[in-house]
Amino acid sequence: MNHEAPLHDFMGLTFNLSNVLMITIASLVVFLIAVIGTRKLAMKPTGMQNFMEWIMDFVKGIINSNMDWRTGGQFQLLGMTLLMYIFVSNMLGLPFAISYDGVLWWKSPTADPVITLTLAVMVLGLTHYYAIKMKGAKGYFKAYKNPMTLVEEFTNSLTLGLRLYGNIYAGEVLLGLLAGTLAFSGPAGFIGAIVPTLVWQGYSIFVGSIQAFIFVTLTMVYLSHKVSDDH
Amino acid sequence: MLTSSFVLGSTSHGFNGGDMLFQLVMFIILLALLKKFAWGPLMGIMTQREEHVANEIQAAEASRQEALKYLEEQREIVKQSRTEAGQLIENAKLQGEAQREDIVNQARLEAERVKESAKREIVQEKEKAITALREQVASLSVLIASKVIEKELSEADQEQLINDYIQEAGEGK
């Protein structure tokens, strides 16, 4: 279970090649799903188009429950992309983990705090950008009269990223223990591991979906806090 | 080693700035690509559908309004033709009445005229008859007189008569 990471230094930055691989795969999967789902667009939606429109309405619902659609409408694309990307990322690590030569290659990219914190910091950065863009510099700084707001910025980004990471990483660790360690401890262990592995995989699908939903919801909550005037 | 791995995962090896950068760049690229190839067209078709539905509702509303208008118009026309028909019947009745009156009057006048002319004719005939009678009576009386004179005139009477005549003639001068 305690795998090494395929680290590689390039131009002064450290790259975890497995992360690079999984980010690319997750992005590719999301892109393919979205593009295939919107190939045959019709006024009367069929098949995949229904699914894509459901996602669109779902994100629209999340935004609408947090802010006015006039200000929130521009975040719909961000919300949809985040939702699908995080969901797909969470799902990638579920069916299997591939390690080669003691190096873990296939896993959820969201099982790495660096990735989730990057997403969280990106979202927080966007909230600041839109706050200044929509309320002006004066309105933006007015929110910091209370110094606790500054603390909130750090805790928000930390909790947003670490919540996702913790859930997915814990799921993978337990899956690794069940399928990797218990299943190889003997015939009884193999048989005994089947049921808990199945259960935990099912639960992980649930957790992965919920975490993607929570991430998008919190993104919209933070955005609405920054963008709207009454907070 | 195991504990630290559980807590911090694969970042126990240090700060992976490259991953952050890669994730950020990939996400932005993904966002841009999806916007161009998936969300854009999808949003387009959804807006189009919304517009279509709105248009349809509007069209339905408009045609309903039009139907109502037509109905009102038709109702008005029916009402109008009904009153017109009533008026026509009324007019025909009045005209018939007038014509009847006219005919009766004319007949009365005609009868009057016929009566008048008949009266006139009667009077004329009566006068004619009276004249004829008078003539006859005169000639008859002369005849009778001559008969009487022939039969009864005596010598003396004749004398007397002649004298009277002469007297008269003399006085008449």
**One-letter amino acid identity for B128?**
K
In chain A, which residues have their Cβ closer than 8 Å to the Cβ of B9? 111-113, 165, 169
Chain A stretch 89-128, residues whose beta carbon is closer than 8 A to a beta carbon of chain B: 104, 109, 111-115, 117-119, 122
Q: Are A112 and A167 in contact (CB under 8 A)?
A: no
B58: distance to nearest CA of chain A, Å? 18
Q: What is the ipTM of this complex?
A: 0.79
Count of C-beta atoms within a 10 Å radius of residue B123: 10
Tell whether A20 is within 8 A of chain B (Cβ): yes
| pLDDT at residue B6, as a whole number | 43
Residues B111-117 have a mean pLDDT of 95
Per-residue pLDDT tens for B56-94? 999 999 999 999 999 999 999 999 999 999 999 999 999
Q: Which of B2, B34, B56 to mutate to test the interface with A (most CBs of A within 10 A)?
A: B34
The mean pLDDT value for A125-137 works out to 84
Q: Is A32 on the interface with B (CB under 8 A)?
A: no
Instruction: Report d(CA B137, CA B145) in Å as an integer.
Output: 12
Residue A52 with chain B: CB contacts under 8 Å:
38, 42
The pLDDT value given to residue B12:
45
How far apart CA A31 and CA B39 sit, in angstroms, is 11
Cβ within 8 Å, pair A15-B43? no
Tell me, yes or no, if A41 comes closer than 8 A to chain B by beta carbon: yes
d(CA A53, CA B39): 10
Domain regions of chain A by residue span? 7-227
pLDDT in tens, A6-61: 776 667 677 777 888 888 888 888 888 888 887 877 777 778 888 888 888 898 88
B86 touching A, CB under 8 A? Answer: no
CB contact under 8 A, B19 and A16: yes
Closest CA to A27 of A113, A99, A109: A109
Percent of chain A past pLDDT 90, that is, above it, reads 3
Query: What is the tally of helices (H) and strands (E) in chain A?
Result: 7, 4
For Cα atoms A51, A57, A63, give the angle at the middle one, nearest 5 degrees: 140
The pLDDT confidence band at residue B15, using thresholds 50, 70 and 90, is low
Confidence of residue A78 (pLDDT cuts 50, 70, 90): confident
Q: Which pLDDT score, from 0 to 100, does residue B7 have? A: 43
3-class SS letters over B21-46? HHHHHHHHHHHHHHHHHHHHHHHHHH
Name the residue with tokens 């039009």: B66
DSSP code per residue over B88-116: HHHHHHHHHHHHHHHHHHHHHHHHHHHHH
pLDDT of residue A152: 81
